[in-house]
């Protein structure tokens, strides 16, 4: 199947490679035309303010928001989670703004506070998985319809709501394909 990766800024290639590794066809989404034939979309990590700006410059913001509203399955990682959130504690801008969550940017600290940890997430795997956090956000409030997928140190780092899945960390920077497999199985198929 065709799975898009928003390719304006940030960690795009690693997602394209993981999509290929699972035998699917990655599509780089750079303008609204690229939204037409995808069955799912990944919003990668990077800098949410920059990606947000580029979404407006490229004319992608509205069509993308509409597609997600209409049910396009979407996985937001790190900055992607921030783009999806309806509320951002420490940024008064709004981006795609469809998920019923409040997030805090850089919530674990600055670049030097980036870290790796291992965690078993029952819904995804029976083995502990490596989680990589890079200037990551976490979720400080959830609203109706939001399910918590995982927490680290009592902070919510993974949530699902309807066709949207958002995680604070970067599975594409590890060798495990379990998150992508989970997204495809539970959200796309
Ligand atoms: N700190 C970034 C932001 O606020 C997110 C970091 C990331 O995506 N790795 O957008």
Domain containing 27 — which CATH number?
A: 3.40.50.880
Which tens digit of pLDDT belongs to each residue from 84-117?
999 999 999 999 999 999 999 999 988 778 899 9
Domain that holds residue 32: 2-188
- Residue among 56, 54, 73, 68 at smallest CA distance from 98: 68
CB distance 114 to ligand 1 below 6 Å: no
Distance 72 CA to ligand 1 centre (A): 23
Our answer on whether the CB atom of 67 is closer than 6 Å to any ligand 1 atom is no
Bridge partners of 76? 43, 166
How many structural domains comprise the chain?
A: 1
Is-above-0.75 flag for pTM? Answer: yes
99 CB burial (10 A radius; 0-12, 13-18, 19+):
buried
Instruction: State the Rg of the chain over Cα.
Output: 15
Question: 86 near 68, Cβ under 8 Å?
Answer: no
Asked about 150 being catalytic, the answer comes back as: no
* pLDDT one-digit tens code per residue, 115-132: 999 999 999 999 999 999
Q: Which residues contact 127 (CB under 8 A, 6 or more apart)?
A: 120
Q: Is 163 in the pocket of ligand 1 (CB under 6 A)?
A: no
Residue 150 is predicted with a pLDDT of 96
Indicate if 34 belongs to the active site.
no
Tell me which residue has its CA closest to atom 5 in ligand 1.
Answer: 79
The tens digit of pLDDT for each residue in 6-61 reads 999 999 999 999 999 999 999 999 999 999 999 999 999 999 999 999 999 999 99
- Strands 147-152 and 85-88, bridge-based pairing: unpaired
Alpha-carbon distance of 142 to 47, in angstroms, equals 23
- Nearest CA to 88 out of 146, 139, 135, 159 is that of 139
Of 110, 89, 85, give the one whose Cα is nearest residue 98.
85
- The residue-averaged pLDDT of 55-79 equals 98
Distance CA 152, CA 171 (A): 15
Q: What is the pLDDT of residues 152-185, one digit of tens each?
A: 999 999 999 999 999 999 999 999 999 999 999 9
Predicted local distance difference test score (pLDDT) of residue 189: 83
Of 15, 34, 150, 170, which residue is the catalytic one?
A: 170
CA distance 175 to 187: 21
Query: So what's the pLDDT on residue 110?
Result: 80
């Amino acid at each position: 199947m065709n799975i898009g990766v928003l390719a304006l800024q940030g960690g795009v290639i690693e997602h394209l490679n993981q999509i290929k590794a699972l035998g699917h066809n990655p599509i780089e989404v750079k303008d609204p035309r690229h939204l037409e034939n995808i069955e799912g979309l990944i919003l990668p990590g990077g800098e949410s303010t920059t990606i947000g700006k580029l979404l407006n410059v490229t004319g992608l913001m509205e069509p993308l928001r509409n597609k997600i509203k209409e049910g396009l399955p979407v996985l937001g990682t790190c900055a992607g989670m921030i783009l999806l959130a309806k509320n951002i504690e420490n940024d008064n801008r709004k981006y795609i703004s469809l998920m019923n969550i409040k997030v805090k940017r850089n919530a674990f600290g600055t670049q030097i506070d980036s870290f790796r940890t291992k965690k078993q997430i029952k819904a995804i795997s029976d083995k502990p998985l490596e989680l990589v956090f890079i200037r990551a956000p976490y979720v400080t409030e959830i609203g109706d319809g939001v399910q918590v997928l995982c927490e680290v140190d009592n902070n919510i780092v993974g949530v699902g709501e309807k066709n949207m899945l958002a995680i604070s960390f970067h599975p594409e920077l590890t060798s495990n394909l379990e998150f992508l497999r989970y997204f495809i199985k539970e959200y796309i198929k």
